[in-house]
Structure 1
Amino acid sequence: MKTLLSNPASWRYVWPIVGLLLLLSINLIISPEFFHLEIKDGRVYGSLIDVMLRAAPVALLAIGMTLVIATGGVDLSVGSIMAIAGAVAAGLIAAGVESLPLIIGGGLLAGLIGGMINGALVGYLGIQPIVATLILMVAGRGIAQLINSGQIVTFNHDSFAFLGSGYFLGLPFPIILVIITFIAVQLLMRRTALGLYIESVGANASASHYLGINARAIKFSVYAIAGLCAALAGMIAAADIKGSDANNAGLWLELDAILAVVIGGASLMGGRFSLFLSVIGALIIQSLLVTIIMSGIPPKYNLLIKASAIIIILLLQSPRFQQQLSGLMFWRKRHG
């Protein structure tokens, strides 16, 4: 039976989890109460819950981004779609709409339209993904500002605010939303042929075409799903602060989402993907931020430390680095 060391390809499933456990262990050393969980009034509190809660928006973005990257594309507009969805939801509430399904539906529709625009540009018009999504990245935030009339729109709607600050089964509702979204998309990918089609298009779009797979429709679909995930994240962000800030909602989160997917072992060239590892990647990013804060390191070093830690994680996932490490360990075993 092949061991983990003799099968470096399997390491991509191990290293993200090892990296997350390492970061959590460092936090435990810094703060012995880091893993302490407490239940009050039927709600679970603790640092671990806070990490998962703060990672929820990036995790949602990473789920959609995983599918996009699996086709060989990238979506730079998800942060702006977050802003648009939050602005639409806040605008509906400010206009006097009380129906929660209508408010959520409006936000999801906005995200779906944004994703469909990206999908049409990439899939049917053949525009490079980075260029096509850059258009909505810039224009989308302007659209959100127009919806808000250039102001921060606040609202008071307890049912909608539940999306960002409510609790369900003892856990913050954003965490529940991530779990539901992950299960739904995972079932869609693995219980239908769509996941196989996505991997096929990402690995070789031309060959997929000759096999009868509609690569254009597949690309259109993944960008639409990414738009829906971004809309969910945007409404969570708006519900959390009970307002829509078009200038800052989702700002640069698209980069964290891409990073989470890459940390999860997905190839930017397309092909293989893992939704689970992408969510782990989002948790790693948030855990790293918590580690930096808890260690008391001056804020001016935050970005440098974050970049260094990510480089180490990506090195551990590199097939060539894994082969070299495996060869070194084998040499030491023989000459030890």
Structure 2
Amino acid sequence: MSYEPIFDELADTRFTLNNGSGNLPAVGFGTLFENPAVTTEVVTHALQNGYRHFDCAERFRNEEQVGIALHAFIEAGKARREEVFITTKLWNTNHRPERVLPAFEASCRRLQVDYIDCYLIHTPFAFQPGDDLYPRDVFGHVLYDSGVTLIETWRALEGLVDEGRCRSIGLSDITLEALKDIVAVARIKPAVVQIESHPYLPEWELLEFCRQHGIIVVAFAPLGHGMAPNVLEEPVITGIARRLQKTPAQVALAWSVQRGVAFLTTSATLSHIQENRDISTLPHRAMQEIRQDISTRVRFNSVVETGVPVFIPQQK
């Protein structure tokens, strides 16, 4: 059975960046794949199906394959570079200021772009500098770098904005407390904060703080990463989906955009790529139900505690 998407304007929502450098498409596509060999083909499918916001990272080790897809699509005249919002991230081993520019330029080369729309600090945790993504001691413990502070790394990112190499900068996998510390002293305020968020982890307090400061929140794992307890099996979500003749995923993703949060989904399956952009505006009643009637609270990824991204299954 072929999938025939029907879009309303919600799928094309864009959020304005606080530094006047453009806007970010609310519907985003993540590029971390279990099999990196599929990257170019899958990103091409996403572009063909209307995605214009791509989330990349040095740590994903496939920026070059993403770049091939983006470059070919733009060179073919199917989109202008300024229509495609490209985010990538500085990994934990490159937090020292002198390592930021070389890491940034390497990402630009791999992605085949002259500028990055948004450059994020992947986590607030600095690891020992070097080529090993996860430097560890003989006992397997991550080796952190006490010789650099987050604000020092942030100052280096501010320099990238000053030079026009980067349109905006932000933070990822950060707690509200750590975000407040940066906002208090930053010369260039964060434009974007990327965090885990879904109906089981709505992060209302962090979202409110970001609203007050004009910061866009981008949710990763907006569907709960398929883990237990499963967001897509939540009775409130499935009930709304039945009423509206949408899938539970489409309900959860529409909820995200309507509450002002951009999202990233990742799939190598064409039908899911299409489904995740086929979102429609939810009735006010449905938005209230999701906020008031879902009591489960789960964080699936412990990266905010260690700087090491890892999804950990939970049980009700």
- Give the TM bin, normalised by the shorter chain: under 0.3
Larger CA Rg, structure 1 vs 2: 1
Bigger strand fraction: 2
- Compute the TM-score of the two structures, normalised by the length of structure 2: 0.24
- Compute the TM-score of the two structures, normalised by the length of structure 1: 0.23
Per chain length, whose mean CA-contact separation is higher, i.e. which structure has more relative contact order (CA < 8 Å, sep 6+)? Answer: 1
